Chain A
Amino acid sequence: MSAPAIQCDVAIVGAGPAGLGAAIRLRNSGVKRVVVLEREAAAGGIPRHCGHPPFGWPEFQRILKGPEYALRLQQAADAAGVDIRTETSVVQIEPGPMLQVTTPAGPAQIEAARVLLATGARETPRSARLISGTRPMGVLTTGALQSMVYLKSQRPFMRPVITGTELVSFSALLSCRHAKIRPVAMLEEHSRPTAWRASVWLPRLLGVRLEMNTQLIAIEGNDRVSGVLVRRGENSVEKIACDGVVFCGRFVAEASLACMGHIDVNPVFGTPVTDQFGRCSDARFFAAGNMVHPADTSGRCWHDGITTADHIVQSLAGNLPSPNNAIAIESAEPVIRYVIPQRLSVDPRPAKDAALCVRFSSEAKGTLHLKVNDSPIVSKRVRARPEKQVAVALPDDIFSSKPKRLKLTFEPSC
C-alpha cells in the first residue's frame, strides 16, 4: 500500500527561478503550505548548471554567477518557509489536482488546492533538427554541456563547433572557456546574429571564429565526432574538423506533463494554453516561466512566477473570473512563434496593463493587428527578430464590446 497523499495548498513543479519566485511570493502572501517539487538534487533550476554571470540583477540587484544566484533563490525560499522537496520527479498530473511523484524511496502522491507548473524549457536536440550524418558521441545541447562542465567537472570534447547565435550560444562559449575547451568555430545560418548585434565581440574576444551564413548540414565520425559538413552561401559545402557539436537554443517548452496529462497544449506553440492569469485548461492548474515563454532570462521567469503567484492567491480566494467564459486568440501566421496568453477569460473588471506577448519565428517587418470579430482594435508596427518579444497592449475596455472572436494577424510591409 502506498502512503497517504501529502496535502498542501499550492504544489509547484520545478524549483527554477519561476517556481521559487512564485513560492516565495505565495508564502509572503499568507499561503500556508507551499510545496516545491524539484527532480534534481538541489533547487535552483538551470542557473545552477550555468557557472557564469550575469544572473540576479532584478531579484537581488547584484550580478551573480548561476550557482550563486540559484543558492540565493533557494535560501530566500527557505527563509520564507517554502517546503522544497528535491529528487522528487512528478511523473503524472491528474485532475484533483493530484500529482503522482517518485522519489529515491519510491512513489508518492501529492494533493494540492492549486498546482503551478514551472518546468521550464529545453533546447532542440540534434535528432529533432533532422540533421544528416552518423550518430557519434560528442553531440550535445548547451544544457548538457553546462551540467557536465559545471556540475561534474567533465569535458565531453575539446574542439567542438557551436551552432547558433542565440543568447545561450554565448553561454556555451563561456562554458567551454571555463573547461578549457576551445571551440573551432561558431556557426550561424543567417547573416546576422540572433542575439544582439554586439554579441559578435564575445567569440572574437575568446579567439573563436564566428562564421555567418554557414549552416551545419551533416555530422561525421564513428565513436566520436570527427568533423562536420557545412554549407556556406548557396552551393559550397566544406568540412570542418572538430570533435564535438553543441546545438544551442531553439528552446521548446518542457510541457511533457501537460501533454501526457489532461492539460491542453497549443499544438503549434508547444506551450500550455493559458489565460491572462496563467491559468491552464484545468483552472486549478497554472503555468509560469519558460514553459510558457521558451526561453527567457531567469529574471523574467522569476518575475513571471511572482505575477502568477498573485493570480493563484486570487484564485484561492475565489476572486478570479470564471474560466468557462474564455475567448481564444486565434493566430495562424507562420512568422508568429507564439502568443501569450492564448485565451482571455472574460473579466468584468477593466483589464489593467494587460498585454499580449508575441514572439516571432523569423525576422519580420510589418504590422500586427488584433481583431475583434474581424475588425482591428489594436495595430502595432513591428520590426521583429526571432528572439525579440513584442507586447501588444490590450485596451482597457476589451470585454465591454462582448467580443466573440479575437484574432491576431500580421501584415508584412515591403
Chain B
Amino acid sequence: MTAELNSPPVSEYCEPARQTNTSARQLCDVLVVGGGVVGCAVTRRLALAGAHVILAEKEADILEGASKGNSAILHTGFDAPPNSVEQGCIADGYREFLEIQSRLNLPLVKTGAMVLAWDHEQAARIDAIVAKAHANGVKDVAEISTDAARAQVPALGTGFTRAVHIPGESLLDPWSTPLAYLHQALAHGAEFLHHCEVHTGEFDGNRWRVATSQGELQARWLVNSAGLYGDQLHHQLIGEPRFRIRPRKGQFLVYDKSANQLTDTIILPTPQETTKGIVICPTIFGNLLVGPTAEDQESRADASVDTATLSRLKSVGESIVPGLKEHSITGVYAGIRPATDARDYQLEADSKRQYLCIGGIRSTGLSAALGIARRAAKLILGDQSAADTPDSIQWPSVPQISEAGQRDWMRPDNGGIVCHCELVTRREIKNALLGPLPARSLSGLKRRTRATMGRCQGFYCSAELSELTQGHLDCPLGI
C-alpha cells in the first residue's frame, strides 16, 4: 500500500472560490444578509426602487438554506391567520407573482388544491377553513362534494368525508423563481457576494460597518434575511435576543414522473396547529411530491433523511392515493424551515439603527417573498418604493426548465442531451456555469438545470457532468 493511494483530507477537495476583496467597496445603501428567496426578493425590490444593494450569502450559492427544500407551491394564503403579517405578505406576493411571472419567463401552473377531511374531527373544521379563506379575501374557496373531489382526482383513496376546493393554489419553479429575482436585481445594479459570511457589525449612527469573511462592508441600512440563522445574526448585530429560531425539518419523497398522472391537483390535508400536514402535489417538473413531515430539531443544518420516516411518508401517501404503490421513488430530500416561538412572521424595522429584521419566514416564504419585499422596501425607503414597477425596468429571463413550457431540448443546436432522465442539454449545462450567477456547486447546478434529479439520479450523466463542470465547481465531482 503506497501513500499516494490514500485519500487527501476532505478540506483539500473543497476550496471556496476566490473573490475580489471587498475592502475597496464603497458604501452601499442596503446590505441584505442571506440569499434565500426572501433575500433575493428584497434585493430585487430595493434595486428596482433605485437603491444600491449588496446581497451577502455565506454559502457558494443562493438558496442553500431554508429555501432549498420546499413543496414548490404558490399559496393563496387561504389558511393563513387572518390579518397577520404573513397573510398580508402572501396575498401581496401572490398578486405580484402573477403580474411579473411571464415577463421573467417563470412558469406557473394553476392546478388548484383540495383540502380533504379524513376523520370526524377534521370534518368538523371544514366550515372554519372556508370561512377563514373568505376572511383572507380568497373568495373562490368553496366546499365541493366528495363525488366532485373524486371526479377531479379519480386516484383518491376512500374514506374522506368532506372536501374544499381552492382554485388559486398553483405550482411554480422554486429555484428559478428566486434566481430570476436576483438576476433582475443584478441588472439594476445590485451586487451578489457569495462565501460572504457576516461576523459582526456596528451601526455608528450613520452607517453600518460590517465585518465579513470577505472583508469590511459598509451600508446605510442592513436587512437581516438570514433565515435559519436570523436569530443569531440579530444577536450579533443588535445584541439583544429578539426571537429564537426553532428549526423544523420536513422530509419529502419525490415520485417518478409516471406518478404525475395520478393527480393534477394539489391534495392538502386539513391543516393542523403547527403544520399544513402531508401534502401530495404534482411538481412543475412533472413529478409527484409527498411531504413534508414536521420534525422540531436543534440543528439548523442537519437536513438528513431517515428510513423510518421516509417509509412512514410512503404509507401515508399510499393511504391517500393508493395508486402510488405502483410507482417508484425518484428522490428524497429534507428542508428545514425557520419556525419561531411566535406564530407570525417577524418583520420589524428599527429606523434609529437603520436595521430591518425579517425573521421566522417558515413554509410560506416562497409565496410571500414578493410581498415581504414590498413591505421591506416601504419600511426602508418610504412610500416611494411601493409605487408600481415602472416600465423602464429590465426583465432578464431565466432558462425555462419546467415541463410547463418549451424546453431547450426542443430547440435546435442544443448540444445534445446530457441528463437523459430530465432531458437536460449540454447547452443548458454550459449556460448554467456562466453568466452573472453561475452555479458553483453541484446542488446549484441541479437547481439551475435539474441535471441528475431524474429517475436514475446520475447513473448516466455523472461522468459527463464531471467533465463539463471541471474548473467551475468549488467542490468538483471528480477528484
CB of B306 closer than 8 Å to a CB of A: yes
Residues of A within 8 A of B99 (CB): none
The smallest beta-carbon distance between A136 and chain B, in angstroms, is 9
Which B residues lie within 8 Å of A126 (CB)?
457
Name the interface residues of A89-104: CB closer than 8 Å to any CB of B. Answer: 89, 91, 102-104
Chain B residues 364-404 with CB under 8 Å of chain A are: none
Q: How far is the CB of A19 from chain B (nearest CB, A)?
A: 15
Given A128-B330, A130-B307, the answer on whether A259 and B466 have CB atoms closer than 8 Å is no
* Interface contact B479-A259, CB-CB below 8 Å: no
Bound-state Cα–Cα, A224 to B11, Å: 10
Known: A89-B420, A137-B442, A157-B479. A148 touches B459 (CB 8 A): no
A105: Cβ under 8 A from any B Cβ: yes
CA distance A102 to B94 in the complex (A): 36
The reply to whether B463 and A148 contact each other, CB–CB distance below 8 Å, is yes
Q: Which residue of A lies closest to B308 (CB)?
A: A132
Report how far A133 CA is from B333 CA in the complex, Å. Answer: 10
Task: Indicate if the CB atoms of B416 and A217 lie closer than 8 Å.
Answer: no
Closest to B458 in A: A144
Contacts of B330 on A, CB cut-off 8 Å?
127-128
Is B416 a contact partner of A104 (Cβ separation < 8 A)? Answer: yes
Contacts of B311 in A (CB 8 A): 130
Interface residues on chain A, size class: 35 or more
Mark interface residues in B192-204 (1 if CB within 8 Å of A CB, else 0).
0000000000000
**B153-165 CB contact bits vs A (8 Å, 1 = yes)?**
0000000000000
Stretch at the interface among B21-29, B31-39, B267-275, B407-415: B407-415
Number of chain B residues whose Cβ lies closer than 8 Å to a Cβ of chain A: 60
CA distance A218 to B307 in the complex (A): 9
Q: Does A180 contact B (CB under 8 A)?
A: yes
B100, CB-defined interface residue at 8 Å? no
* A145 to B380 Cα, complex, angstroms: 52
A126 to B466 CA separation, bound complex (whole angstroms): 19
Most buried by B among A41, A102, A155, A260: A102
B310-345 with Cβ < 8 A to chain A = 310-311, 314, 325-326, 328-333
Given the interface contacts A106-B414, A135-B303, does A152 sit within 8 Å of B478 by beta carbon?
A: yes
A330 to B392, CA, bound (A): 67
Residue A267 interfacial (CB < 8 Å): yes
Which residues in chain A, 123-161, are within 8 Å of chain B measured between CB atoms? 123, 125-128, 130-135, 137, 140-141, 143-144, 147-148, 151-152, 154-159
Q: Which residue of B lies closest to A153 (CB)?
A: B478
Q: How far is the CA of A143 from the CA of B329 in the complex (A)?
A: 19
Say whether A310 faces chain B, with CB atoms less than 8 Å apart: no
A87 close to B (CB within 8 Å): yes
- Interfacial chain A residues near B151, Cβ < 8 Å: none
A156 contacts B477, C-beta separation under 8 Å: yes
User: Does B455 sit at the interface, judged by CB under 8 A?
Assistant: yes
Does chain B have a CB within 8 A of A122?
yes
Residues of chain A within 8 A of B258, CB atoms compared: 256, 259-260
Q: Chain B residues near A89 (CB, 8 Å)?
A: 409, 417, 420, 423
B456 beta carbon closer than 8 Å to chain A: yes
The distance from the CB of B271 to the nearest CB of chain A, in whole angstroms, is 27
Enumerate chain A residues within 8 angstroms of B14, measured Cβ to Cβ.
223-224
Which residue, B1, B314, B455, B459, has most C-beta atoms of chain A within 10 A?
Answer: B459
Cross-chain contact B414 with A125 (CB below 8 angstroms): no
Judged by a CB distance under 8 angstroms, whether B448 is at the interface is: no
Interchain nearest-CB distance for A268 vs B (Å): 8
Do A158 and B5 have beta carbons less than 8 Å apart?
A: yes
Excluding A131-B307, A132-B308, 16 further A-B contacts by CB distance (< 8 Å) are A87-B416, A123-B459, A126-B457, A128-B457, A135-B304, A135-B333, A144-B458, A144-B463, A154-B478, A218-B304, A221-B10, A223-B475, A224-B13, A226-B10, A256-B455, A267-B325
A-B contacts, 14 of them at CB < 8 A, read A89-B420, A102-B423, A125-B456, A127-B331, A128-B330, A130-B332, A133-B305, A135-B305, A147-B462, A147-B463, A148-B477, A156-B466, A156-B479, A158-B5
